[in-house]
Amino acid sequence: MQTRTLGNSNLQVSTLGLGCMGLSHGYGPATDRQQAIALIRAAFDQGVTFFDTAEIYGPYLNEAVVGEALAPIRDQVVIATKFGFTFGDDNRQQILNSRPEHIRWAVEGSLKRLKTDVIDLLYQHRVDPEVPIEDVAGTVKDLIAEGKVKHFGLSEAGVQTIRRAHAVQPVAALQSEYSLWWREPEIEILPTLKELGIGFVPFSPLGKGFLTGAITTDATFGSDDFRSKVPRFSPEALQANQALVVLLGQIARDKGMTAAQIALAWLLAQHEWIVPIPGTTKLHRLQENLGAATVVLSGSDLQSIGAALEQVTIQGDRYPAALQARVGR
């Protein structure tokens, strides 16, 4: 697999990374630990060198799985993780916390779980309105000077926050949702990242599975599946948004590809500093997703996709209200 560099940083990663969250968190019961480890190592064997996790995934469980899986090949991979929450006594309550002392505490825990002495890319998971972003960036800058972190990242931050953080400690990458059915970053975020030389790491590049075509209009989700709370996955929205999947499927068939591969290839074609991190729990889906790295979309292909997108109005918010309030700050 080819590599890409995240913005003006010297952080070089595989063209596609692996989002590891779903192996432990968010989409139902956690995957069997050994199966999860096997999938992560299979991704590496197929050229993936960029692995994304966070302390909140579990909490803590996913970092431990990623750490065990990558320990034998630690010097050949880039590990990204995130801080920014306190979890309460039951480890379920998620309270924003980016106070400098908590960042340091979180990093020490992540280092142990990841079985490493340095974090390649450390993101603030969500902006904490109680802590000036300059204090957050300054703390990470100190951690970089101490050799515990290599690069600083932000997740779901707004333009002004990105600028303020970048002025204190250069931001290597922003991680936010971006896909064929969530294109809001194109308005302000992508131009700002291009201006500042910051890489972009889209999560949910397959629309939490919707863009693969595998989620039918009558799909239901368990209470332990995050999508059960997402307005965009309500029965009404699934019915309305199916038109996008139909169009995507038609384009994919014409190209001899799958819908997932077209969706990922479209993201890769937007800018050379974009590195999507699709996640999966299945080996055959992993292989399908990674196949997108070899798909080249021509200018006319991109125009056709753009024209098709204009025919569809996506319905439903991407987050429930409480979580939407935490993004774009």
**What pLDDT, in 10s, does the model give residues 202-234?**
999 999 999 999 999 999 999 999 999 999 999
Long-range interactions of 144-148: CB distance < 8 A, separation 24+: 144/169, 147/117, 147/118, 148/107, 148/111, 148/117, 148/118, 148/119
Above 90 in pLDDT, residue 90?
A: no
User: CA-CA distance, 11 to 129, in Å (whole number)?
Assistant: 29
Residues 20-71 have pLDDT tens digits of 999 999 999 999 999 999 999 999 999 999 999 999 999 999 999 999 999 9
> Torsion over CA of 290, 296, 297 and 299, rounded to 10 degrees?
150
Does the structural domain 3-324 have CATH classification 2.30.22.10?
no
With cut-offs at 50, 70 and 90, classify the pLDDT of residue 97. very high
pLDDT at 89: 77
pLDDT at residue 266 in the model: 97
Under 8 Å between Cβ of 19 and 28: no
Residue by residue, what is the 3-state secondary structure of 16-42? Answer: CCEECHHHCCCECCCCCHHHHHHHHHH
Residue 319 annotated among the catalytic residues of the structure:
no
Q: Which of 27, 57, 60, 123 is catalytic?
A: 57
